Chains A and B, each alone.
Chain A
Amino acid sequence: DTGVSQNPRHKITKRGQNVTFRCDPISEHNRLYWYRQTLGQGPEFLTYFQNEAQLEKSRLLSDRFSAERPKGSFSTLEIQRTEQGDSAMYLCASSLVPDYEQYFGPGTRLTVT
């Protein structure tokens, strides 16, 4: 069990560019969650998958955001046409149903200049 990993750990991009983040969950975990956290706030839910099916998306997730989990293992989160307001820490977590505990990865810190 190597834990949840995320890449890259840091990303600096210019406004208008597209970015993609990757999350590798704990192996055999069937649920994968994406959250966003800004300074001084708790994480906010963005979306989650059970296996390869995307079961829920937050209303916070505009059309510029898309997430995939093609084979039910790793997941990618893409942000198109980034805006300065997208600057945040993007956290991935995984869990094994029926356990409720979510294990978080180290996050990807995005800075949009």
Chain B
Amino acid sequence: GQNIDQPTEMTATEGAIVQINCTYQTSGFNGLFWYQQHAGEAPTFLSYNVLDGLEEKGRFSSFLSRSKGYSYLLLKELQMKDSASYLCAVGDNTDKLIFGTGTRLQVFP
């Protein structure tokens, strides 16, 4: 079966660091994606990991451990505009995306 788990909600303070975890069990694996989605808007691509390790892109970093079926998204120097849902998704062996339910992050001043 296909299962992707991530926390439903998280809160953090402006300027802080937050880590959003994602665990997955899927029948195929062609990479782990993180998308950001503001309310009422389309998901926008943040990161892609296909090999183990950390990928850094500005304030955002993403980590993958394929043996553990685990990824995290790290957001540094949080800003109010980072309040959004963060979607963890696995690309399966036909390249479609299998999404988790998303983590709603609220950033407070």
Binding site for B on A (CB under 8 A): 4, 31, 33, 35, 40-45, 48, 55-56, 91, 95, 97, 100-107
Contact = CB atoms under 8 A, between A and B. Distances in A.
A41 B108 CA distance: 23
Given A42-B89, A100-B30, A107 B98 contact: no
Contacts of A42: 4, 87, 89, 99-102
A12 B41 CA distance: 18
Contact of B99 (A43, A97, A100): A43
Interface of B: 4, 30-31, 33, 35, 41-45, 48, 50, 87, 89, 91, 94-102
Contacts of A107: 42
A106 B59 CA distance: 25
Contact of A31 (B35, B87, B95): B95
A94 to B, nearest CB: 12
